[in-house]
Amino acid sequence: MIFRTSNGLTLTRVGDECQTTSGGTPARKVTAFYSGGIPWVKSGELNDSTVTQCEETLTQEGLDGSAAKVFPTGTLLIALYGATVGKLGIQGMPSATNQAVCAIFPSERVFTPFLFYYLLFQRKHLIGRRTGGAQPNISQDVIRDLRLPLPSLREQQRIARLLEQADRLRRTRRYALELSNSFISAAFLELFGDRCRNGPFDLLGDLVEITGGGTPSRDRPEFFQGRIPWLTSKDMRGDYIWDTEEHITEAAIENSATNLVPAGSILVVVKSKVLMHRLPVAIAKVPMCHGQDIKSIQCSKALHHEFARFVLKHHEQRLLNIARGANTEGLTLPMLEELPVPKVDWTHQQEFASLVERHERLRAVQREALRQAEHLFQSLLHRAFTANI
């Protein structure tokens, strides 16, 4: 079916210009179906770029005994199920997929990278078309029913090249930031790893004061109309906390178990489902209060808060294992107080803190560069398709 926009541009349905199909999953109980030489891509492995590796492989027997099929290099993929709905990929190698991945084969009138970026632009629309309960999904019919702008092949190639350049820039910026994020942890291990393993140690409880938090009464909405930041685990999304989603009044502090902790306090999530995966640790950059799912640590003059933060990060896996082993998932005050802290003189702690400060300035520049690259890409994506639909 052909449509036309007000400026005369052709619009068609994706299904009129593309063939779609999906893969399958061989029976898990048949071990002979797996660990072969055929890459097998699952929806969680789509990352909006070229797919060059996957976790599992199939044997020819597994391929023949299921709905899975091998798609050639360059095939456009889109996730149909669950949390990954709308995620895209382009196969960088011949591979099979499971049934949660739809493979799309454009006609000679559609340039595959152009369609890739169009589907990326339409992701919110696709997510809005999900159906189902425990595992919401989109059907191939939803994808095929999308109206696709169809400029000339040459114009599609021009648009795709422009978007690819902007996409490459934002990916480069993101990768640089990811590399930078791991630098200080590596520097900490280089400088203090041996002491973290072999000591001598102090106990954290002998070097700090640890305070708990509380939640003002939700029955008193006026308590949450102040200007004092009130931190919960959902605010713990970075290494430094400048502000929070909710704010409270002084009266809320006076009438609850929460406490105002000073800037420089180390904030640790001690009770949350997030402890199944990671240990959020941050430093308060302004005075604030927090809920009971967080403990704050105020360091003595013998322990620099930046050094202490990385001691906690160094022991992350140990603390998570302790938390998971408790009767109720979480970290208790004694668990934190008994954490070993390597004895490091103040001068070396301060030198490390200065290194962290310089690195944070670099990260701020990198984050801004990434923000600008993301804005450029989204602006170009919007320009490429909004006027044409």
Q: Determine the number of helices (DSSP H) and then strands (DSSP E) in the chain.
A: 12, 21
Whole-angstrom distance, CA of residue 333 vs CA of residue 176? 37
Residue 313 pLDDT: 93
Q: List, for residues 130-165, the tens digit of each pLDDT value.
A: 777 667 789 999 999 999 999 999 999 999 999 999
| Amino acid, res. 249 | T
Helix ranges (H only) for 100-229 are 112-121, 123-128, 140-144, 153-198, 204-207
pLDDT at 1: 45
Model confidence pLDDT, tens digit, residues 325-380: 655 568 889 899 999 999 999 999 999 999 999 999 999 999 999 999 999 999 99
Question: For 230, phi and psi rounded to 5 degrees?
Answer: -125, 115
**pLDDT tens-digit readout, 299-334:** 999 999 999 999 999 999 988 888 776 555 688 898
Which residues 6+ apart lie within 8 Å of 324 measured at CB? 275, 276
**DSSP-based three-state secondary structure for 373:** helix
The pLDDT, as a whole number, for residue 101 is 95
Q: In a 3-state reduction of DSSP, which class is residue 82?
A: helix
Residue 149, CB half-sphere, CA atoms under 13 Å: how many? 23
Q: To 10 degrees, what angle do helices 153-198 and 305-314 make? A: 100
Among 31-45, 100-114, 134-148, 157-171, name the one with the lowest average pLDDT: 134-148
